[in-house]
Amino acid sequence: MFLNTSLTEAFCIAIVEAASSGLMVVSTNVGGITEVLPESMLFVTKPDPQDIVDKLTEAIPKAKNVTAHSFHEQVKNMYNWNTVAKRTEKVYDKISKIR
């Protein structure tokens, strides 16, 4: 289990590294957190102590069923250079059509 309780965040490489290591992630829903990992790896919470406890309570039983290797493979596929380049290219293509 990896707990990220940031009040501000952009990309948050720490949650990517945690998931890649096979950890279920519980994180405050700040910045771009929900765009970094899929729902199957991530429990998002408000930056509120009780909500954090509630999400941890929900996540712990599910974390016991995580196969570390499968999480690692998923993250590896999401963040290899070819995949990142293709996603970046889509953004640039979309922006160029707007102008």
Q: What single-letter amino acid sits at 16?
A: V
pLDDT of residue 98: 80
- H helix or E strand, kind and range, residue 98: helix 81-98
DSSP string of 36-93, one letter each residue? HS-GGGEEEE-SSHHHHHHHHHHHHHHHTT--HHHHHHHHHHHTSHHHHHHHHHHHHH
Domains of the chain, CATH where assigned: 2-98 (3.40.50.2000)
Which pLDDT does position 80 carry in this prediction? 87
Would you write out the chain's pLDDT as a tens digit for each of its 99 residues? Answer: 999 999 998 889 999 999 999 999 999 999 889 999 999 999 999 999 999 999 999 999 999 999 999 999 999 999 888 888 988 899 899 888 886
pLDDT reported for residue 83: 85
